[in-house]
Amino acid sequence: MTALLSLRGVKTNIGRYHILHGVEFDVPEGGLTMLLGRNGAGKTTTLRTIMGLWRAHAGEIRFDGKDITALATPDIARLGIAYVPESMAIFGDLTVQENLILAARSGPFDQKRLDWIFARFEALKRFWTLPAGHLSGGQKQMLAVARAIIEPRRLLLIDEPTKGLAPAIIANMIEAFRELKDGEATLLVVEQNFFFARELGDNVAVMDDGKVAHCGGMAAFAADTALQQHLLGLGMGEHQ
């Protein structure tokens, strides 16, 4: 399978701290790659570096064969890459509707797509005209994901989408991500919820101390409790 995104020898410093020490992995086109690792391993920094929000000072990031390492964030977004940060990038003073209007950059909503989002994240329909700042944490998370998928994207970078979500909404998110990855998009998802990771991941890259320590298929990783113990501290079956 060809790689839609590939990182080679990526090093990122934040101020005087060396955070990424030569990150290397591929995200195959189509399907979902899970980026796992202990707290502080460098997962968020990796997503931010791909998006140009931190600058890689060494190495190379290629998207669809093009070197994007030195591009500015808006130019990276224009190539069809969307990023949902852990801190939920939504506008609290604007309504749910206005948040989605701003995210739909190419014009009016595709009603079929909006209905598909409403079917999975019903609260967004219910609170359509409410300022987003009034939503619960989980509902804000739904809105942040909805903003990223309101238009078709080639690659979605999503940081901990299930954080603070009730199990029923996690099930809807699994369904939405499964449909996206089987259809138009490739996904790279940081996740701590191992049930979600195992359910959805086709591939996995596991970070440890600013590097990728393991990458491969999710099925093999999910079956290897010794490797999980070594890289994550706990087996995936122990986290539910």
> Which 3 state secondary structure label does DSSP give 37?
strand
**What is the Cα–Cα distance from 234 to 228, expressed in whole angstroms?**
6
Name 22's Cβ contacts closer than 8 Å, sequence gap at least 6.
9, 10, 11, 58, 59, 210, 211
- Give the residue, chosen from 40, 137, 217, 233, that forms a contact with ligand ATP under the rule CB under 6 A: 40
CB of 221 to ligand ATP, least distance (A): 17
**What is the Cα–Cα distance from 199 to 125, expressed in whole angstroms?**
27
14: contact with ligand ATP by CB under 6 A: yes
233: contact with ligand ATP by CB under 6 A: no
The upper half-sphere exposure of residue 1, i.e. CA atoms within 13 Å in the direction of its Cβ, equals: 16
Stretch binding ligand ATP (CB under 6 A), from 9-17, 55-63, 140-148, 196-204 = 9-17
Stretch binding ligand ATP (CB under 6 A), from 37-45, 107-115, 168-176, 227-235 = 37-45
| Residue number, 26 or 159, with CB nearest to ligand ATP | 159
Stretch binding ligand ATP (CB under 6 A), from 33-41, 64-72, 139-147, 214-222 = 33-41
> Which 3 state secondary structure label does DSSP give 195?
helix
Amino acid identity of residue 127, one-letter, is F
- Give the residue, chosen from 43, 120, 153, 198, that forms a contact with ligand ATP under the rule CB under 6 A: 43
* Residues making contact with ligand ATP (CB under 6 A): 14-15, 17, 19, 37, 39-45
